[in-house]
Amino acid sequence: MKHHPILIIGHRNPDIDSIASAIAYARLKEMEGNTKVMAGAAGQLNRETSYVLEKLRIQPPPLISDVKARVEDLLDNEPVVMLHPVMKLGEAANLLRDRQSKTLAITDKNQRLLGVMTVGDLAMILLDGVGDPNSPEEAGTRVQRIMDTPLSEIMKPQNLVVFDQSDLVAEARDMMLKTRYRNYPVVDEGNHFLGMISRYHLLGMQRKPVILVDHNEKSQALEGIEEADLLEIIDHHRVGDLESISPIYFRNEPVGATCTLIAKIYIEKGYTPEPKIAGLLLSGILSDTMIFKSPTTTGTDREIAEWLAEISGLEIEEWGREIFRVASPLDLNETRNAINEDLKEYKYGNTTFAVAQIETADMTHLEQYFPEIQETIEKISASRGYDLMFLMVTDIFVGGTQLLIAGEKGDLGVRIFSDNHRHELFLKGVLSRKKQIIPIIFRGLAQNELV
Ligand SMILES: [Mn+2]
């Protein structure tokens, strides 16, 4: 049986907070003496995350696409028995008896699967041979001759149901129900024999152990999470819809970043993160709290950040600006990609609207593209059937958001935020979509229905 390490992983479309939390928490587990842990990434790293890891000289975590149960998770620890095709049937029969096996694999000298021999096959061969009334031989001689036959002459490689170790358990289960053999050989990519599985093995299936950080909703988790063994959740988002089989350690606090919680756990357990891990945790906090300017920021985030800055030797404001500079889209193309990457849809009554947000460290630089960006969101809005679309271009250094509004009900959108007619307006002090934009749109749409 393949023993999987505990996978610590954040949400899909990972940001710095997700990746940093996973790496730092895995490191803490190692410091505590748990060697079978690994951090993973539930998606391609974005530019600022790669930048932070490179700067701090931290290896990026491997990309993990899913935690679905696979056939390799069914294999047990029994030693694998392989027969060579030159082996005589008699020897194979002894092995079947000694091992109390019902099925044995026949392989070449490189352990590649050639066929199988079952107790049933052996019985049929004996019955056929011994019971032949036309044979002139004595029964004993006949049995001896049969037992001297090499396996290569009797093995049946056809109609063999073989599983690849990476096949999904769900599919293998269906196949087993359809074919109902006693045992099924499992091979790797190179057709090397790895062991036998049976329906009985489905009961002892090994679920992959997983710890989730920075999310607790199924739609944000990597695929197959319902087939995994959920061990812990550490998060700072609203409580979502994931279920666990047994009681687990579930820590959720309304702070600005999951990295704040991971750092708190270090402190509670009496550990100090290494300087580069402290720098990584600090990066997650600065990114998620927009260098403490987001209204989601708490006093705990600031305190913990100070502590991490001291250990890492990084200067908070300077390092934060560097991260946001890297995160800023530089040209029109990058801006368009960023809009599509961070687009959230909502519905109120019969109005469907979307709000996208991009962050920039240099609003004046992006301003030159505003006409093209306006065109882009008009197109997105039309092609996706939105009545209304908002784009927040947020500059945390200026401390405000330029709002671009598109869609058939664009004028209504403008009226919600201002009394002039421009589809482009600046909102000072507005940084958070969740707290400062969405509620106002909903309120505006509700009022519009009343008049
Ligand atoms: Mn987060």
Distance 285 CA to ligand 1 centre (A): 8
- Give the Cα separation of 198 and 201 in Å (integer): 5
Looking at 169, 203, 237, which one is the last position of a domain?
203
- Give the Cα separation of 77 and 286 in Å (integer): 47
Per-residue model confidence (pLDDT) at position 420: 77
User: Do both 217 and 287 map to the same domain?
Assistant: yes
| Containing structural domain, residue 283 | 6-68+208-326
Distance 112 CA to ligand 1 centre (A): 47
Which CATH number is 47's domain given?
3.90.1640.10
Q: Centre a 10 Å sphere on the Cβ of residue 253 and count the other Cβ atoms it contains.
A: 13
Q: Is residue 393 part of a domain?
A: yes
Q: Is residue 1 part of a domain?
A: no
Distance 18 CA to ligand 1 centre (A): 6
Query: What sign has the CA pseudo-torsion 403, 405, 410, 413?
Result: negative
Nearest C-alpha neighbor of 341 from the set 11, 41, 46: 46
Distance 120 CA to ligand 1 centre (A): 58
Taking phi over 0 as left and psi of -120 to 50 as alpha, with beta for the rest, 76 belongs to beta
User: Do both 375 and 446 map to the same domain?
Assistant: yes
User: Do both 224 and 337 map to the same domain?
Assistant: no
Per-residue model confidence (pLDDT) at position 217: 87
Distance 11 CA to ligand 1 centre (A): 9
Domain count, the chain: 3
Residue 428's SS3 state is: strand
User: Do both 301 and 212 map to the same domain?
Assistant: yes
Which CATH number is 148's domain given?
3.10.580.10
Distance 347 CA to ligand 1 centre (A): 25
Query: What sign has the CA pseudo-torsion 69, 235, 232, 9?
Result: positive
Distance 449 CA to ligand 1 centre (A): 35
Looking at 294, 326, 358, which one is the last position of a domain?
326
Distance 372 CA to ligand 1 centre (A): 31
Per-residue model confidence (pLDDT) at position 78: 79
Distance 240 CA to ligand 1 centre (A): 14
- Give the Cα separation of 144 and 89 in Å (integer): 10
Looking at 180, 203, 226, which one is the last position of a domain?
203
Q: What is the pTM of this model?
A: 0.79
Return the H-helix or E-strand segment holding 353. strand 351-360
Name every residue whose Cβ is closer than 8 Å to that of residue 132 and which is 6 or more positions away in sequence. 142
Per-residue model confidence (pLDDT) at position 103: 86
User: Do both 405 and 354 map to the same domain?
Assistant: yes
User: Do both 313 and 199 map to the same domain?
Assistant: no
Residues in the chain predicted with pLDDT less than 70, given as ranges, are 1-2, 132-133, 135-136, 156-158, 451
Distance 288 CA to ligand 1 centre (A): 6
Phi, psi of 447 (to 5 degrees): -65, -40
Per-residue model confidence (pLDDT) at position 389: 97
Q: Are the C-beta atoms of 262 and 234 separated by less than 8 Å? A: yes
**How far from chain centre, in Å, is Cα 97?**
45
Distance 1 CA to ligand 1 centre (A): 35
